[in-house]
Structure 1
Amino acid sequence: MKVLVVLALALATASAGVFPQTFPVHPRDRTVNPSIEGRITNGKDAVENQFPYQVSLNFGSNSGGWFCGGSIISPEWILTAAHCTSGASSVTIGYGATVRTSPVLSQTVTSANFRQHESYNAIVLRNDISLIKTPAVSFTAGINKIKLPAISSSYSTYAGQTAVASGYGKTSDASNSVASHLQYADLTVIPNNDCANTFGTLIVTPRVICVGTYNGVSTCNGDSGGPLALDGVQIGVVSFGSSAGCEIGSPAGFTRTTYYLDWIAEKTGISY
């Protein structure tokens, strides 16, 4: 099943609103207990220009299409999850959209522009990170980049701090489609040991950062690949969550950005 984090703008079909678990963007036919998937529930409506770095990603392939989220990290680069780009032949990127279907700008690129992590493992969602090279965009109030953490010899675990996730994923477990309006939620980062109690240490490694999903607030299907931000800096990429539902209170998992700063710099030249 696919990995969703409470904000995992997972891959619901752009045209049919089908959720990511149905498509090859998630670990194929995986049997685990608990199984994992990707999704924001019980969040809030974003206002115009609140998250200028957020993008919508409509992926296409010979076997269908799916929906994810992503973030702008430079005029020419989008950061997202590897389970979103995996198996896709193209993607249409929507910029500046508070309403998902009304982006300020759209661009379509092929998989030749994908830079998926070479060691991505769909079974345990290891290295669930990908980059998309795009034609350069001009920044405005509604379209802008998010900063990455500065490269350092050591990094905070962020445990106990409140971060914000954004995306167009399902707004409740009962919903059968992704959100039309950009959503966001404030989520508390939890220690990896606590997260591993739910998903195990094969899934929850130092490459992962997790948040608690209290009161039914979490990422959900359709949020996959989207950003987790702290004080305007991206610390995570929506990756996975419990397949039992987005509102049950299980942690949500993200790819930990600080673990991949050297890889991002190698592929894009971007570093702080």
Structure 2
Amino acid sequence: MKLYIVLTVCLLGGVFAIKKEVDWYKLKPLEVFPRIPLSPRMSINGPEARITNGEIAVPKQFPYQAGLALYLDGGAAWCGGSLISNRWVLTAAHCTVDANGVDVYLGAWDRTDKKEPSQQIIYVSKKNIHTHKNYSNTTIIDDIALIKLPVAIEFNDYIQPIALPKANGNYQTYAGEQVIASGWGKVSDAAQSATDKLRWIEVPVLENKSCNRWFLGSVKETMICIKTTGGYSTCNGDSGGPLAYNDGAKTYLVGATSFGIGLGIGCEFGWPGVFTRITSYLDWIEKTSGVVNR
């Protein structure tokens, strides 16, 4: 017996309606789950995602974590990102494709605490947002972007870059390996807004072949999946955020939060989370930013 399923994919960043002088943390995300038959399709209202059932991080635990307050026509969105050098932040293309500018949060833990001494908020104009030119909002292929900071930042205990995988041409799939995703997205399907304090989950990587059984062939070799058993998942506000792997000696950026599934029941359902696979874009990253790990 064949089972036919109509999928609903949610791109993982929360969309917010904003007004001038309204604090970001008070805004409620507009939940949008665009429908697709076989391949993901992005809503015209913007991206969707969150860390569900995660642990609260401690300050300095993820010094490479960036928060992104993106300014869009008629609204705004909150996404995540990863600091990869003193000038560049890596995120998802579906976060930046319609952005007119972005506030980049670095060194933040409680993003609502403007007096947090470690937190820096840096505005970046549209001209310094580099979205992959081949990004498709129908197939969500090439879901990667880079943001160039206007000035080089000084590293400290709260702000440090994460290493890219070594550009040696020999890359593992990471299938079965434990990885960590982090972000300020919603903590549960019942939550009404993104969380204030940074959260994280540790989950295993799911091989692409198994992941594709859930997504009917939409997962490509340029993507990497995680298991979300028990409702531990990325799923509004986590888009573009880091998926990190530690080999025992060093922590590497292996993914950027891209999309998950929404069937009207949210991200705690146990459907795999899908990320942009960083090893597939090392040449593009180097060409765009000059950042490379040899």
TM-score, shorter chain, exceeding 0.5? yes
Q: Shift of the alpha carbon at 1:33?
A: 5.8
SS at 2:14's partner residue? Answer: coil
Q: Give the counterpart letter for 2:147 in structure 1.
A: I
- For 1:45, the equivalent position in structure 2 comes to 56
- Report the CA distance between 1:154 and its aligned residue: 2.6
TM superposition outliers: structure 1 runs of 4+ over 6 Å:
none
Q: CA RMSD in A?
A: 1.8
| Higher normalized contact order (CA 8 Å, seq sep 6+, divided by chain length) | 1
Higher-Rg structure is: 2
Match for residue 36 of structure 2 among 6, 31, 45 = 31
Contact 1:35–1:242 (Cα < 8 Å) also in 2: no
Structure 2 vs 1, CA of residues 158 and 254 (structure 1 numbering), >3 Å: closer, same or farther? same
Contact persistence 1:20–1:38 (CA under 8 A): no
What is residue 76 of structure 1 aligned with on the other side? 87
CA distance in 1, matches of 2:162, 2:38: 35
Corresponding residue for residue 143 of structure 1: 159
> What's the offset of the Cα at 1:21?
3.3
Pick one of 262, 282, 285 that aligns with 1:264: 285
Counterpart in 1 of 2:261? 242
Structure 1's 182 and 132: CA in aligned 2 closer, same or farther, altered over 3 A? same
Equivalence for 1:26: none
Alignment of 1:219-230 (within 5 A): 219-230=234-245
TM-score normalized by the length of structure 2: 0.84
Per-residue deviation at 1:270?
0.8
The Cα offsets for residues 76-104 of structure 1, whole Å up to 9 and x where unpaired, read as 00000000001110100111111022361
What corresponds to 2:144 in structure 1? 129
Distance 1:119 1:35, change over 3 A: closer
Equivalence map 1:1-272=2 (5 Å):
3-4=10-11, 8=12, 10-13=13-16, 14=24, 16-19=27-30, 21=32, 30-32=35-37, 38-102=49-113, 104-134=119-149, 135-201=151-217, 203-231=218-246, 232-244=251-263, 245-272=266-293
Unaligned runs of 5+ in 1: 23-28
Identity %: 41
Q: CA deviation at 1:2?
A: 6.2
Structure 2 stretches of 5 or more lacking a match?
A: 1-7, 17-23, 42-47
* Mapped contact 1:12–1:68 kept (Cα < 8 A): no
State how far apart, in whole Å, the 1-side matches of 2:177 and 2:283 are.
24
Segment drifting more, 48-57 vs 148-157: 148-157
